[in-house]
Chains A and B, each alone.
Chain A
Amino acid sequence: QVQLQESGPGLVKASQTLSLTCTVSGASINSDDHYWNWIRQTAGKGLEWIGRIYSNGATTYNPSLKSRVTISLDASKNQFSLSLSSLTAADTAVYYCARLFSGYEVSFVYYFDHWGQGALVTVSP
C-alpha cells in the first residue's frame, strides 16, 4: 500500500525558508512511471500545484513560485523535499505531497494517484 507522509515545522517566520519532507512507503521513489509533487491549499481556498521531481532529479516548478522553490530527493531514504524561501503570510497553507502516475495502464494515463495527509504550515510575522 502506497503511503506518503509530510513532515516539518508547523510554524515558520516571515522572510525565512520553509522546509518540508515527504516520506514514501510502499513504493520506490526511483520508479520510472511516477513524479513526486508538492501541492498546497490555503485556508478556504483551492489547491495550487507547486512543482514536481522525477527520480533522476529533474524538476518542474509552477512559474508563479519558481523563483522561491526548490524540490529535491533523497533516494536512499525514499524521500523528497520542498524548500520555499522568502515566506510571507500568503504562504500559510496545508502542504500536500502527492504522487503523479505518468505511464501506461491500458493506455497512457496522467494523474495524481496518491496523496499525503497534508501538513499545516503557518507563517508568523
Chain B
Amino acid sequence: QTVVTQEPSLSVSPGGTVTLTCGLSSGSVSTVKYPSWYQQTPGQPPRTIIYNINIRSSGVPDRFSGSILGNKAALTITGAQANDEAHYYCVLYMGRGISVFGGGTRLTVL
C-alpha cells in the first residue's frame, strides 16, 4: 500500500519561511493527486488551508502557498507567525475514490 510521507516535525523562527512537503513512498505527486493541506490545532478539527496544489481556502492568509517541488507537493509559510504553530496534514487522491492522509507535520514556531 502506498504511503503518503511528511516530515514528522519542523521548526521555524517567527517571521521566517518554512516548507513542508508531501510525498509518496512510490511515485510522484502531481495534479491528478489533487493534493490538499489541512491545519489542526489541539482540540480542533482540521481546517482547510490549500487545495488543488495551490488554491488557498477562503480566509487563509496569503503567507500560505502551495506548489509542486520536484516529485512532492509543498506547503510554504512565508513570514511565520506564532499562531501558525500546529499540525499540518496533506491528503492525496489515489484514484477509485480513495483518499490517503499523510502522517502529519508538527510545526513549531520559536
A83 at the interface (CB under 8 A from B): no
A-chain residues with CB within 8 Å of residue B89 when the two chains form the complex? 46-47
Residue of A39, A105, A112, A115 near B36 (CB, 8 A) is: A112
Residue from the list B34, B96, B103 in contact with A111, Cβ < 8 A: B34
Residue in chain A with minimal CB distance to B99: A49
Residue pair B46, A115 in contact (C-beta under 8 Å): yes
Pairwise interchain contact B34-A112, C-beta atoms closer than 8 A: no
Please report the total number of A residues contacting B with Cβ < 8 Å: 25
* Residues of chain B with a CB closer than 8 A to A62's CB: 98
Whether the Cβ atoms of A60 and B96 lie closer than 8 Å is yes
| Stretch from B18-26, B48-56, B68-76, B78-86 forming part of the interface with A | B48-56
Is the beta-carbon distance between B104 and A46 smaller than 8 angstroms?
A: yes
- Would you give the 0/1 interface string for A99-125, flagging 1 where the beta carbon is closer than 8 Å to chain B? 010000101011111011110000000
CB contacts under 8 Å to B, within A5-61, are 35, 37, 39, 46-49, 52, 60
A60 B45 Cβ-Cβ under 8 A: no
Please state if B104 and A47 are interface contacts (CB–CB under 8 Å). yes
Asked if residues B52 and A110 are in contact (CB atoms below 8 Å), the reply is yes
Contact in complex: B48, A112 (CB < 8 Å): yes
Cα separation A112 to B89 with both chains bound (whole Å): 12
A80 at the interface (CB under 8 A from B): no
Q: Which residues of A contact B (CB under 8 A)?
A: 35, 37, 39, 46-49, 52, 60, 62-64, 96, 100, 105, 107, 109-113, 115-118
The 8 listed contacts between A and B (C-beta, < 8 Å) are A46-B101, A49-B91, A110-B34, A111-B34, A111-B36, A113-B48, A115-B45, A118-B45
